Amino acid sequence: MKTLRSAQRDRFRGQVALVVGGAQGIGKAIAARLAREGAQVVISDIDRPMMAHTARGLAQEGISIMTFACDVRSRRQVERMVASVIRRYRRIDVMVYVAGVAKGVPFVRTDEKHWDWTMDINLKGAFLVARAVVPCMIRRRRGKLVFMASTNSWDAEAGLAPYNASKAGVFLLAKTLARELGPFGINSNAIGPGLIRTRLTAPFIKDAKFMHKYKNLIPAGRLGEPEDIAGPAAFLASRDADYVNGVLLFVDGGQLA
């Protein structure tokens, strides 16, 4: 863990941050970063054991977070989760939507079930969570929405049609909310990670041919780590980004340069 300067340690003091899909990988790194910078963090995820593991790890640092099991495909579960957070903390200052899935399959073998599964978690879940959180932000005339898009929001990758389409959708959802909610003091932005070492990408990283091709595409000469995304996400969630609205911030070691 990089040490934080004291101004940073307090950047989110008094704020409540909800990280959806925060049990592991990129979401976990963002949740930890926001918590270390003073936010009261709530992690929501479908994976209870991983959430508990992450909460225990942060507790060892003296950081207490709340966890909430929720499947983002269920409107009822999402609404219940968000209502509980608001009931308990009276506010949500920051919402980071990170939940996501990806499975590489050639287009001609991509069936409807695979398409719906990917869209429901990556895109519809983002809509459901934002739909539940935003009224509270409008009432308070402030809020930061950060959506996890991808380099695939922009650059298509073969074998990932539903994923690419879902991530393009996430970016346009973020932009739409920037237009519509900007007048209410709400910022909505997206992050486009490159290839980051997590459970999601483990099958791709194991493939030597894929990796050989990929590494040559990244000027940084290395894969990203979840912590590489945490700082840029914290920036977009912070007051430093008050005048940043509707952007897709690529964090990809220069892959799309």
Ligand X SMILES: NC(=O)c1ccc[n+]([C@@H]2O[C@H](COP(=O)([O-])OP(=O)(O)OC[C@H]3O[C@@H](n4cnc5c(N)ncnc54)[C@H](O)[C@@H]3O)[C@@H](O)[C@H]2O)c1
Q: Residue numbers of the site for ligand X (CB under 6 A)?
A: 21, 23-27, 45-47, 50, 71-73, 98-102, 121-122, 148, 150, 193, 195-196, 198-201
CA gap 112, 78 in Å, rounded: 24
For residue 41, CA distances in Å to 17, 33, 89 come to: 5, 10, 10
Judge whether 97 counts as a catalytic residue: no
103 versus 142: smaller Cβ distance to ligand X = 103
159 versus 185: smaller Cβ distance to ligand X = 159
CA gap 208, 224 in Å, rounded: 17
195 in Cβ contact with 214 (< 8 Å): yes
12 versus 250: smaller Cβ distance to ligand X = 250
238 in Cβ contact with 65 (< 8 Å): no
Task: State whether residue 247 is helix, strand or coil.
Answer: coil
CB of 149 to ligand X, least distance (A): 7
CB of 45 to ligand X, least distance (A): 5
CB of 71 to ligand X, least distance (A): 5
CA gap 92, 40 in Å, rounded: 10
CA gap 19, 168 in Å, rounded: 21
CA gap 31, 245 in Å, rounded: 21
Return the sign of the alpha-carbon dihedral for residues 203, 205, 208, 212: positive
38 versus 166: smaller Cβ distance to ligand X = 166
For residue 141, CA distances in Å to 77, 129, 176 come to: 26, 18, 17
CB of 251 to ligand X, least distance (A): 9
CB of 185 to ligand X, least distance (A): 26
User: Active-site residue among 89, 97, 163, 214?
Assistant: 163
CA gap 124, 198 in Å, rounded: 23
28 versus 175: smaller Cβ distance to ligand X = 28
Residues with catalytic roles: 163
